[in-house]
A and B are shown apart, each in its own frame.
Chain A
Amino acid sequence: MDLQNAWNVAVKDLKIYTKKKSVIYATVAMPLIVGFAFPLILDYSFRRTGKVLSAATALGLMDTFSIFFIIAAAMVPTAIASYSLVGEKVQKSLEPLLATPMSDGDILLGKTMSALLVPLGAIYGGSIAFMSLMDYFTHDLLGYYYYPNWHIGAILLAAPFAALLSVELNVIISSRMTDVRSAQQSGALLMLPFLGVFLASELGFFTLNDTNLAAIAVALAAISAAMFFVAKATFQREEILTRWR
């Protein structure tokens, strides 16, 4: 695999995204909402109602909100990954690309990189904002800075694997889709298992503590590694030119 080739593909895709503002907005919106809006709304609502936030409630809310970074990681690459693959299919630009000396793996890696970089940047940027604002608002209440801690560490460890899994599934979905919107809608379904886990924890079936989050990160790493081979099998020259619809 030639990393330079893959990087060239990624840079080209990123250049195109800068001209497709809607794709960028769709990608960065959710992580930034979680990162900025949650702490600000929380602070505003308590100030407005005059209620005193207990330390236990604050800790519970912070842990709950931070789970959204994994959900966002599974959801937001969909916008870019679908555009990256189905967009090329619609523009019929894959065949000339496949006629270059690059390997299928170079192209797939480049597409994966371009689909991961912006979402992960937004997720890590959002999480830094979240941690900073939450620490700022809760320092006096708790008497210490809650972040960084192992809980958010496990979440941010799981996030890239959730994002990678999302990209891989989008490669597979994109091979059967003919328009970007349908691919995005189908890809967004990946968010459902993550939401299911979140709701199950909220309903008390289990706790999303540091250990369980770390286990989720390991499971996501294993699933995304397995899915890579399925995505690679889907992303082959002959397959793309003759079977992709």
Chain B
Amino acid sequence: MIDTENLTKKFGDNTAVDSVTLHVDEGEVFGFLGPNGAGKTTTVRMLACLVAKSSGSATIGDYEIGKKADQPKIREIIGLLTENVGLYEELSAYDNLDFYGRFYKLGEQKRKERIEYLLKLLELWDKKDSAAGTFSKGMKQKLAIARALIHDPKVLFLDEPTANLDPEASKIVRDFVLELKKEKRTIFLNTHLLDEAERICDRVAILKTRLITTGSPQELRNSLTGRKVKFQLQQVDESVSSAIRKMGYHVEDVTGNSITVNLKDPEKENPLILRTVQSAGGSVIFVTEVGSSLEDVYLKLVKGD
């Protein structure tokens, strides 16, 4: 659905986005991670035809970014939730949506139906006549999402949808994005919240001006930090940990009576380690895999870049 090839944006001598090549499937939720200033918003703006690319190419569906005739067509099939909600605070929730619905040539009846559907879905129907300026941050964010969905777009760009929201409002927005995921809509999610990406996204890319890596959260965790297994013993002594080290494994941590070991294939390697531990006089109570978080991967990649 979304393809980019060496997509680059320069502002004068400053390169904001450098040679980004990626592919997003139809119906996929794709997370775009990166620190502030990494170029996430600029990438979305290029894909939404808001700023021109400096070089490279990109397509959304059958339309080409940068081709003048395709720009209005791209804007018709995408919805964009900007980082700042940008609502008309003096207008009611209904009027905010009605205003935007008109630009997508939705007839009056269709517009009414769509607004009612979205406001009810987002539990804002009771507030439809209230000015957007009177809404809480979470409600504003929901209304901005409804605005991005007013024309039922095939592709939805969400730029930091939960930034600056309290945990409760964040959860409401996240749950709604998960609902959208069920509709098999293509979602491009810009975020610096790794937990959010891990919960919502099918695949993620890490950007720091250049694209550092792409994959599912699970793939990234496995490929970059391997897998970790924690062996809880009755008592840990030096003979046990040195026996494991002698097998060639990296003992990452020894805390209390537990030893954490990095393994490539725990299913095959766990029995060997258990035998070694028992031979060394150790007594294993339980064995558990410790998942390295996406945060570990992110920090390793971004800081190590």
Binding site for B on A (CB under 8 A): 4-5, 8, 12, 15-16, 19-20, 91-103, 237-238, 241-242
Complex CA gap A237/B75 in Å reads 13
Report yes or no: A92 in contact with B82, Cβ–Cβ below 8 A. Answer: yes
Query: From residue 75 to 116 of chain B, which have CB atoms closer than 8 A to chain A?
Result: 75-76, 78, 80, 82, 84-91, 95, 99-100, 102-104
Interchain Cβ contacts under 8 Å between A and B, 22 examples: A12-B88, A12-B95, A16-B88, A19-B131, A91-B88, A91-B89, A92-B82, A92-B85, A92-B86, A93-B86, A93-B88, A95-B84, A96-B86, A96-B147, A98-B50, A100-B100, A101-B75, A102-B103, A238-B52, A241-B50, A241-B51, A242-B51
CB distance from A113 to the nearest CB of B (A): 15
Known A-B contacts A95-B84, A99-B50; A15 and B75 likewise in contact (beta carbons under 8 Å): no
A241 to B78, CA, bound (A): 18
Which residue of A15, A19, A94, A99 has the most chain B CB atoms within 10 A of its CB atom?
A99
A4 to B103, CA, bound (A): 9
Not counting A95-B50, A102-B103, a sample of 14 additional A-B residue pairs whose C-beta atoms are within 8 angstroms of each other reads A16-B90, A92-B84, A92-B86, A95-B80, A95-B84, A96-B82, A96-B100, A98-B50, A99-B50, A100-B103, A101-B76, A101-B103, A238-B51, A241-B50
Please classify how large the interface on chain B is, using the bins under 10, 10 to 19, 20 to 34, 35 or more.
20 to 34
Residues of chain B having any CB pair with chain A under 8 Å: 11, 45, 48-52, 72-73, 75-76, 78, 80, 82, 84-91, 95, 99-100, 102-104, 131, 144, 147-148
Query: Nearest chain A CB to B187's CB is how many angstroms away?
Result: 16
Query: Which residue of the partner chain, among B50, B78, B90, contacts A238 with CB atoms under 8 Å?
Result: B50
Partner of B87, one of A15, A93, A98: A93
Q: How far is the CB of A8 from chain B (nearest CB, A)?
A: 5
Would you give the shortest CB distance from A173 to chain B, in whole angstroms? 22
Q: Cβ of B144: which chain A residues have Cβ within 8 Å of it?
A: 96
Please measure, in the bound complex, the distance between the C-alpha atom of A71 and the C-alpha atom of B246, giving whole angstroms. 92
